[in-house]
Structure 1
């Protein structure tokens, strides 16, 4: 009997030791997971790679020298600075309209600040901080055609630029049911060229983008914004879906930019010269989930 109890006691000790070891491993693994999450959050990074557009004058444009400029670029710089990342440690990488979600998911970029409208479909794949601005979709036409195109319904049967990955053409064709004729382009700079050259009849996208395009009309052919907005386009900062801490940190940075007057100054800097009326109050945030 004594021997049996001794063996039973050893068995209980071994079981207890095994459980303790398992608990230690679980605690260590959990701690490592938390540490990894903290290390990869944009809230704690010392360097940032930020995805931006390169074909939107006034919003996000690559210059001849290879640098980037525009409203989104200035917003991205401000966010990075308020996250504690110096300008020397910020790298801008051009993103495509159809590749933004994948670049975030694959870790090619930490953030995307690229006239990136928040949509339910995109929120399945990535999270959004902000928005940092709410634009409105409108229509850009040649001034000579403005009398015949007063709103999106006048685009029926007309050639309308379509950029793969952008939601702008589907907003007109699918959501509003306007039977416009798609003309493919690889970006809005190409849309501008084709509009001025007469290869299409209109470009429809966000008003801030249209304002920049109108200011760059080539060949002396004046363009005109119809001024018949029909959507709200909240510009969010794309971020990895699990980085809640980073999302909240970016929201804090955006709030600070409106509170101290930085955001209104940047809006007026880029869009007041082209006559676009901008909203200078902080937008309602999406929430970090």
Structure 2
């Protein structure tokens, strides 16, 4: 019964992308669109990346953007080069954060955002999303030994929430609905949230659980932290592109489909997530099957 429920949720998450692929397949075969034209005229594809969204998109020791989402976007770059017959097409990386990532995609500064952005109906009014490449949920990061296990345990305490994110709206809503006396500390990004927790400014940091696992893994003392709490949400991640760029969206989804069919996306998952000891969920396995559309 549990597996059926998970698969159903993944199906609902993927449904908009299946429809998009069907409706834009003919356009993909026949024409181009403003994003591809912009990339072609500039001779550059601009990738938006996150600096601390481990393991999706972050800076390594050499200050180079790397990660699971970056790997996937570099596959998209290969397909764009082939589509445009531009083998020397350059790649520019632009750092984005939760506050500016949607505007930068929407106004064309960034051609594709490769991070850890949750697809929501509200965001679909401003940008388009690819098929899901990950499924996450909102939980809490706390110090080991803390009595905090759920949001309800934060009464009289403080929680850090990243500004302009799905977890911020979700946890704020839960606190307000239950009339909990919890102090909310807004933070700009994951690094600031973890700093607030590690320095004792807050008792918990809440965001997508996979990002919390990444923060714990990269901490100087990982054993001092733990990810706790029930799953508060069902959050499909997608690559963001400018709205109504149907041909480019079809190309991106075709890349994802091939990566799944060839086993490359699973290999990338194993590379980036095995060190975090996070096995692939039933939700994500179902989403992968749904994304593997035939050519």
Under TM normalisation by the shorter chain, which class is it?
0.7 to 0.9
Count of residue pairs the alignment pairs up = 250
Residue number in structure 1 paired with 2:169: 170
Residue number in structure 2 paired with 1:281: 285
Q: For the residues of structure 2 that align with 1:35 and 1:264, how far apart are their CA atoms?
A: 30
Q: 1:141 to 1:35 in 2, by over 3 A?
A: closer
Q: 1:120 to 1:38 in 2, by over 3 A?
A: closer
Shift of 1:270: 1.5
Contact (CA 8 Å) 1:39, 1:45: kept in 2 or not?
no
Which residue of 195, 219, 238 maps to 1:193? 195
TM-superposition CA deviations, 1:9-48 (whole Å, max 9, x none): xxxxxxxxxxxxxxxxxxxxxxxxx776485377999631
CA RMSD of aligned residues (A): 2.7
Shift of 1:247: 0.7
Shift of 1:217: 2.0
Q: For the residues of structure 1 that align with 2:89 and 2:61, how far apart are their CA atoms?
A: 20
- Structure 1 residue runs of 4 or more that deviate by more than 6 Å after TM superposition: 41-45
The 5 Å alignment of 1:33-112 reads: 37=34, 39-40=36-37, 47-84=44-81, 89-112=90-113
Contact (CA 8 Å) 2:45, 2:89: kept in 1 or not?
no
Q: Which structure ranks higher in relative contact order (CA pairs < 8 Å, sequence separation ≥ 6)?
A: 2
Q: Which has the larger radius of gyration?
A: 1
Q: 1:42 to 1:137 in 2, by over 3 A?
A: farther
Taking structure 2 as the reference length, what is the TM-score of the superposition? 0.76
Contact (CA 8 Å) 1:161, 1:185: kept in 2 or not?
yes
Structure 1: gaps of 5 or more residues: 1-33
Residue number in structure 2 paired with 1:127: 128
Taking structure 1 as the reference length, what is the TM-score of the superposition? 0.77
Residue number in structure 1 paired with 2:14: none
Residue number in structure 2 paired with 1:233: 235
Shift of 1:220: 6.4
